[in-house]
Chains A and B, each alone.
Chain A
């Protein structure tokens, strides 16, 4: 059989369209979300190659110039190129949001597993603490933490991660309580498996599927929280390029009508959050259609 590029293309395309027949629109939502994330990831990885100027370069052209051919998104009050700052800023926000979600996952999941599995006083105490945190507005908590920790990439990541620990805890604990009663756990216990083994080999794998969805949605949320903190001037030192900080700087030029300084940073934040939300929604519909309705 001869290799034909057209047939290969068709095969590749059909690999993407085949699930669409089964899942409908949800598949396309997932693909669209993944593509957005991929595009911004590429932007972050090859920032030096993509950005025409250095994000710190204070001599790229006229001050506060509207978008034109040289400056796709215009320039700011310090004569820096807005597009280059957008490209480089993607690194900061992606790093903080993903890392924050990972940290809360690493704390929330074990705590939830342990709490749900062991029960008793530990469970009650942990649940009470987590429920209190969960019911309180996450952003306000993050503001308090970020302000006290002071500016810095690690600090802002920690402040954001505090918000999502209760989310994982509650999700995992609830599922652990259910799975604990399942027949296969009882069977494992009957053949003499110890507590940790049951937790790791039997309960954990069953919990992990739903956390994937929640993780993607948390990253989307963390993106908006990170940008909110830096917008409020809490999270990062001014030397770091960040979308939220650019937005708060652009805010000063809103009354004089320099629209590009707020439009583009905000749009980037929204688009990135949208990518993760769409990926999460698509995954949720495909993995477990009723998950998000609860």
Chain B
């Protein structure tokens, strides 16, 4: 366990250069390209001296290197600064939107895992049959469907034609925001105050976006589970289990799947970045008030501090997930030593 702690600390330290590099790239790209927050604040026709004044107030007239060092120092103090376009702390803007994104990505991940792993295991068990080819085809096709199009088609089918599910937002009109003051995670909030009609409403709104996200990414997991399961099913201990007369279904879904799951878990950490990207697109398609939409809005406004803050949060999020995955890995597989 001591080694594990040491490993965690090393990993955490390693995320620092990663965040730093990303931040530097974004910082430079934002400032080298034309356009700045002042023009989006004042419009294009403000008098010259007003623009100059505003630029000075925001510190945009100082040399790039000075701005950069100042910003880094600010980040070192864990201060994301204030938005350049709105009177708002960046950390507050992000914290408001973060729960929506986390809720969406977690539900999407669960659906992906569930679908991907079971279809993959089933395909491996039925190797070289029509069902196996069918599932593999599903894996490839679903991988090639852009998230946003999947979302639009599901909206069209379930929201417009069948008219059974809402297609936009996190809540319906009858659920009030004051219900969600505790955590911002709507599912958690409604359970905490035992408002089950609101919970139902929230779950209904969550279905289409998370299924969209889940379906598209499940293709990768189908293939991954299938190849890993094929390896495991060939192993001696599976043959031995068969020889002992254990039921086939138990062998496949209990013994084999458990062992095939470890590499799948590692992959999950890697795919998380893809999930975040998918979440941005899903959020726009479903008018989901999360970080992805915040990022897009602020990019149009050239709101430097908020954009940088969101990039940091996403980078940390990705790093954190891959760390958690590694720790789970070490716990479920006692052979892994760091």
| A residues whose Cβ falls under 8 Å from a Cβ of B | 25, 29, 128-129, 131-133, 135-140, 143-145, 147-150, 220, 224, 227-228, 231-232, 247, 250-251, 254-255, 257, 259, 262-263, 266-267, 269-270, 273-274, 277-278, 281, 292-293
Contacting residues, chain A, for B276 (C-beta < 8 A): 137, 140
Which residues of B, 175-213, contact A by the 8 Å Cβ criterion? none
Q: Identify B22's interface contact among A133, A227, A263, CB under 8 A.
A: A133
Interface assignment of B241: CB less than 8 Å from any CB of chain A: no
- Is the CB–CB distance between A277 and B153 below 8 Å? no
Closest 9 CB pairs of A and B: A266-B149, A139-B277, A148-B33, A137-B277, A132-B21, A274-B144, A273-B144, A132-B18, A147-B299
- Is the CB–CB distance between A144 and B273 below 8 Å? no
- Is the CB–CB distance between A135 and B273 below 8 Å? yes
Closest to B168 in A: A255
Number of interface residues of B (CB under 8 A): 51
Q: Which of B58-66, B110-118, B312-320 contacts A (4 or more CB under 8 A)?
A: B312-320
- Is the CB–CB distance between B146 and A232 below 8 Å? no
- Distance in angstroms from A294 CB to nearest chain B CB is 10
- Distance in angstroms from B109 CB to nearest chain A CB is 14
Docked pose: A205 CA to B231 CA in angstroms: 31
Q: Can you name 8 A-B residue pairings with CB atoms under 8 Å?
A: A128-B21, A131-B18, A138-B277, A228-B146, A247-B152, A250-B152, A254-B160, A255-B167
20 more A-B residue pairs beyond the given contacts A247-B149, A259-B156, with a C-beta to C-beta distance below 8 A? A131-B18, A135-B273, A135-B319, A136-B273, A137-B273, A138-B277, A140-B276, A140-B277, A140-B280, A148-B33, A148-B35, A150-B34, A224-B146, A228-B148, A228-B281, A231-B146, A232-B281, A247-B148, A255-B160, A262-B152
Closest to A251 in B: B152
- Distance in angstroms from A273 CB to nearest chain B CB is 4
| B residues whose Cβ falls under 8 Å from a Cβ of A | 17-19, 21-22, 25-26, 29-30, 32-35, 133, 140-141, 143-149, 152-153, 155-156, 160-161, 167, 223, 227, 273-274, 276-277, 280-281, 284-285, 295-296, 299-300, 307, 311, 314-315, 318-319, 322
Docked pose: A282 CA to B82 CA in angstroms: 51
Contacting residues, chain A, for B26 (C-beta < 8 A): 144
Closest to B21 in A: A132
Closest to B275 in A: A137
- Is the CB–CB distance between B21 and A220 below 8 Å? no
- Distance in angstroms from B326 CB to nearest chain A CB is 13
Contacting residues, chain B, for A129 (C-beta < 8 A): 21
Q: Do A132 and B29 contact each other (CB < 8 Å), given the known contacts A251-B152, A270-B146?
A: no
Contacting residues, chain A, for B145 (C-beta < 8 A): 266, 270
- Is the CB–CB distance between A138 and B149 below 8 Å? no
- Is the CB–CB distance between A138 and B22 below 8 Å? no
- Distance in angstroms from B71 CB to nearest chain A CB is 16
Contacting residues, chain A, for B144 (C-beta < 8 A): 220, 224, 270, 273-274, 277
Docked pose: A240 CA to B140 CA in angstroms: 30
- Distance in angstroms from B213 CB to nearest chain A CB is 13
- Is the CB–CB distance between B280 and A143 below 8 Å? yes
Docked pose: A138 CA to B25 CA in angstroms: 13
- Is the CB–CB distance between B318 and A136 below 8 Å? yes
Closest to A145 in B: B29
Closest to A163 in B: B277
- Is the CB–CB distance between A273 and B160 below 8 Å? no
Docked pose: A274 CA to B322 CA in angstroms: 29
Of listed B17, B146, B149, B277, residue having the most chain A CB within 10 A: B149
- Is the CB–CB distance between B280 and A139 below 8 Å? yes
Q: Do A266 and B146 contact each other (CB < 8 Å), given the known contacts A133-B22, A149-B33, A293-B227?
A: yes
